[in-house]
């Protein structure tokens, strides 16, 4: 028997308590009635089916275990993912993960391992209620679900195992007490951005991302014969950091077609819930639809929840999570403060800054800002792009905007003290730095303070967080600064230093930036001062990154760059001051 025939037999066995017709089979698997009739005649002739379509002489196996993947953030589920993990979304009065567990129990699968990470504590009750095992993935923030599957296989292999995402709702039980081939579930819905399509032999054929394929559901079964093979491939992939960002399905791809059968399911019977609107479409009465954030937006804009549409998660920021949505034809961005920001940001000061710049054209239109928790609603700026730090035209516009801010005569009654902030982030970090020579580098950076304090400074309102991503350039060329969480009184040259280190500039690029801001008239003392600020700000943000890392948030090479700025530019300034090198 081939893969397609095994899938048909599985369905007949799964539904043997009722009469399955040829038309039902044809409809269920999107094949012609003629193909089904040929299959039926062949199976009866070979003795595998009775005249009443009862399966005979086929050696099925009993599934033994299940792996449910529930570790990730579920970022596309914003704003619900700030309050609930995806597996605990309620659909039709039942949480997704509990429904899956019950469906597994119905077919006799009791060995269930749930891989948890984000909000892992929320799943703890399942141990008592359903006798499941929780496996904690501490790397859920930086590794994809291939790592989660590997964690579940440390003491066994994938034989006789279901692999299941936690975010699917199945109208009918997708599992069975009798299985044949290994299979991977796809729906009959055709979409762009799938990785596979199903061919006439029920093979999963890899496709290009721009081609149309079958929607991947993510539920799979690995039979006894394939267990060792796929476990070996899994461990091989996980052993290489190059595959940290891969989905577990990569182990199924061998050559031009997957060796695993496609289990084709009507789209009406299984729903993957990735977004707020997909949940609303499936169950308009789900409790999670009334999330705190959605309620807040409704109150601010004086609309019903149903008018909040087209919710799209934006790129996760360094400090916050934000999402874009449409309401009554207008687009808005809602900012939700990220983990640990209550310790990092003084929201009262941020609110004071926004009040100060409210009537200027230097920033976007803020509709709502809560000075207690940092939730912020702004109007979306259409047809604008963030600054490209490698584009000279963008740079000139951004530096002109910084100059406008620095020359605005706006004043706040608080400052951003670089050295106090370094100490503050060190305190938050708690433990010793991960950098072996940190104490030596810090001593050298702090040694620059005495020199920097002797230099002339223009004390004015600065943005502090002058990241290229915080500059919005409209088609007209008008440029705005957004995200004023750190803004305070400081030396304007700190903003230049911040822009340089956020852009990961080398020294030549930094000098070019300085020349643009100063119109080619920057004296050597000011240039050296900016170098000193680069060293100081690099140490500050390096500590910030180490603190965020204690919260499970890793900024990769960015954190290394910040430490290198502290290290290399403090050496540079010291050598210039000692007369060993020119600025």
Three-state DSSP state, 168: strand
Give the DSSP letter of residue 16: T
At 294, give phi and psi (nearest 5°). -65, -40
pLDDT (tens digit per residue) in 501-556:
999 999 999 999 999 999 999 999 999 999 999 999 999 999 999 988 887 677 78
- In this predicted structure, what is the pLDDT of residue 203? 87
pLDDT at 326 over 90: yes
- The pLDDT of 86-96, averaged and rounded, is 92
| Neighbour tally for 195: CB within 10 Å | 19
Closest among 580, 549, 545 to 561, alpha carbons compared:
545
pLDDT at 317 over 60: no
- In this predicted structure, what is the pLDDT of residue 315? 62
Closest among 74, 502, 553 to 323, alpha carbons compared:
74
- In this predicted structure, what is the pLDDT of residue 87? 93
Closest among 479, 484, 445 to 466, alpha carbons compared:
484
Task: Compute the distance between CA of residue 177 and CA of residue 167 in angstroms, rounded to an integer.
Answer: 22
- The pLDDT of 171-184, averaged and rounded, is 94
Q: Which residues pair with 165 in a beta bridge?
A: 69
- In this predicted structure, what is the pLDDT of residue 352? 95
**Structure-token pair, residue 128:** 């008592």
Supply the mean pLDDT for the chain. Answer: 91
Which is more confident, 96 or 337? 96
Q: How far is CA 283 from CA 169, 278, 306, 420, in A?
A: 11, 9, 13, 51
Q: What sign does the dihedral 541-546-548-549 (CA atoms) show?
A: positive
| Neighbour tally for 416: CB within 10 Å | 20
pLDDT at 112 over 90: yes
pLDDT band at 257 (very low <50, low <70, confident <90, very high): low
- The pLDDT of 154-172, averaged and rounded, is 93
Q: Which of 330-344, 442-456, 536-550 has the weakest average pLDDT?
A: 330-344
Number of H helices, E strands in the chain: 19, 23
- In this predicted structure, what is the pLDDT of residue 355? 93
- In this predicted structure, what is the pLDDT of residue 305? 87
- In this predicted structure, what is the pLDDT of residue 302? 96
The DSSP annotation for 427-487 comes to HHH-S--SSTTHHHHHHHHHHTHHHHHTS----EEE-S---GGGEEEETTS-EEE---TT-
pLDDT at 318 over 50: no
Q: Quick one: what percent of the chain has pLDDT higher than 70? A: 97
pLDDT (tens digit per residue) in 261-308:
999 999 999 999 988 888 888 988 888 887 888 899 999 999 998 899
Closest among 314, 293, 295 to 469, alpha carbons compared:
314
Three-state DSSP state, 279: helix
Task: Compute the distance between CA of residue 359 and CA of residue 362 in angstroms, rounded to an integer.
Answer: 9
pLDDT band at 377 (very low <50, low <70, confident <90, very high): very high
> Peptide bond before 79: cis, by omega within 30 degrees of 0?
yes
Contacts of range 18-26, beta carbons closer than 8 Å, 24 or more positions apart: 19/52, 19/53, 20/53
- The pLDDT of 172-201, averaged and rounded, is 91
- The pLDDT of 40-49, averaged and rounded, is 92
Give the DSSP letter of residue 172: S
pLDDT band at 583 (very low <50, low <70, confident <90, very high): low
Give the DSSP letter of residue 285: T
Task: Compute the distance between CA of residue 71 and CA of residue 300 in angstroms, rounded to an integer.
Answer: 33
Q: Which of 146-155, 247-256, 457-466 has the weakest average pLDDT?
A: 247-256
Question: Which residue is it, tokens 């010793």?
Answer: 432
- The pLDDT of 356-380, averaged and rounded, is 91
pTM of the model: 0.76
Which regions of 223-329 does DSSP assign to beta strands (E)? 261-265, 270-272, 308-313, 320-327
Give the DSSP letter of residue 288: G
pLDDT band at 258 (very low <50, low <70, confident <90, very high): low
On whether the CB atoms of residues 371 and 350 are closer than 8 A, the answer is yes
Q: Which residues pair with 377 in a beta bridge?
A: 334, 368
Enumerate residues 6+ apart whose C-beta is below 8 A from 321. 75, 78, 82, 313, 335, 336, 337, 338
Pairing relationship of beta strands 65-70 and 161-165 according to DSSP bridges: parallel
- In this predicted structure, what is the pLDDT of residue 581? 66
Q: How far apart are the first and last CA of the chain?
A: 77
pLDDT at 494 over 90: yes
- The pLDDT of 194-205, averaged and rounded, is 87
On whether the CB atoms of residues 118 and 184 are closer than 8 A, the answer is no
């Amino acid at each position: 028997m081939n893969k397609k025939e095994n899938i048909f037999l599985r369905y007949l066995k799964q539904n043997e308590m009722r009469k399955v017709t040829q038309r039902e089979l044809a409809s269920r698997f999107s094949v012609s009635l003629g193909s089904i009739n040929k299959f039926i005649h062949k199976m009866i002739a070979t003795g595998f089916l009775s005249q009443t379509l009862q399966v005979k002489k086929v050696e099925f196996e009993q599934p033994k275990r299940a792996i449910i993947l529930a570790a990730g953030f579920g970022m596309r589920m914003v704003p619900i993912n700030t309050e609930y993990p995806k597996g605990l979304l309620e659909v039709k009065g039942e949480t997704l993960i509990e429904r899956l567990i019950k469906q597994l129990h119905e077919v006799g699968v009791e060995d269930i391992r749930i891989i948890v990470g984000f909000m892992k504590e929320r799943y703890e009750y399942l141990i008592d209620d359903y006798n499941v095992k929780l496996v904690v993935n501490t790397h859920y923030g930086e590794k994809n679900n291939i790592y989660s599957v590997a964690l579940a296989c440390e003491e066994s292999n994938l034989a006789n195992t279901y692999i299941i995402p936690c975010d699917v709702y199945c109208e009918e039980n997708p599992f069975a007490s009798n299985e044949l081939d290994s299979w991977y579930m796809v729906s009959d819905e055709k979409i762009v951005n799938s990785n596979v399509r199903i061919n006439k032999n029920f093979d999963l054929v890899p496709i290009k991302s721009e081609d149309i394929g079958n929607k991947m559901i993510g539920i799979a079964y690995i039979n006894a014969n394939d267990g060792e093979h796929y476990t070996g491939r899994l461990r091989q992939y996980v052993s290489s950091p190059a595959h940290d960002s891969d989905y577990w399905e990569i182990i199924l791809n061998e050559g031009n077609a997957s060796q695993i059968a496609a289990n084709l399911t009507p789209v009406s019977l299984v729903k993957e819930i990735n977004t707020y609107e997909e949940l609303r479409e499936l169950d308009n009465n789900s409790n999670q639809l009334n999330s705190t954030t959605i309620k807040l937006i409704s109150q601010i804009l004086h609309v019903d929840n149903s008018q909040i549409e087209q919710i799209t998660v934006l790129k996760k920021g360094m400090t916050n999570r934000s999402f874009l949505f449409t309401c009554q034809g207008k687009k808005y961005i809602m900012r939700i403060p990220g983990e640990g920001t209550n310790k990092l940001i003084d929201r009262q000061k941020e609110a004071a800054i926004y009040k100060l710049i409210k009537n200027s054209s230097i920033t976007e239109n803020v509709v709502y800002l809560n000075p207690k928790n940092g939730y912020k609603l702004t109007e979306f700026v259409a047809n604008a792009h963030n600054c490209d730090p490698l584009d000279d035209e963008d740079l000139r516009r951004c530096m002109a905007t910084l100059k406008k801010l620095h020359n605005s005569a706006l004043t706040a009654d608080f400052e951003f003290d670089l050295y106090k902030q370094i100490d503050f982030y060190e305190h938050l970090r708690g433990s010793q730095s991960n950098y072996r020579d940190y104490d030596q580098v810090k001593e050298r950076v702090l040694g620059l303070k005495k020199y920097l304090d002797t230099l002339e400074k223009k004390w004015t309102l600065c943005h502090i967080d002058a990241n290229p991503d915080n500059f919005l350039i409209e088609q007209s060329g008008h440029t705005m600064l957004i995200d004023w969480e750190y803004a305070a009184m400081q030396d304007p040259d700190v903003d230049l230093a911040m822009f340089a280190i956020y852009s990961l500039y080398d020294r030549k690029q930094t000098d070019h930036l300085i020349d643009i801001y100063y119109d080619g008239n920057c004296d050597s003392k000011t240039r050296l001062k900016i170098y000193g600020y680069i060293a100081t700000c690099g140490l500050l943000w390096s500590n910030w990154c180490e603190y965020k890392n204690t919260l499970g948030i890793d900024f990769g090479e960015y954190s290394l760059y910040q430490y290198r700025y502290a290290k290399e530019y403090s050496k540079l300034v010291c050598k210039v001051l000692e007369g060993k090198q020119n600025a």
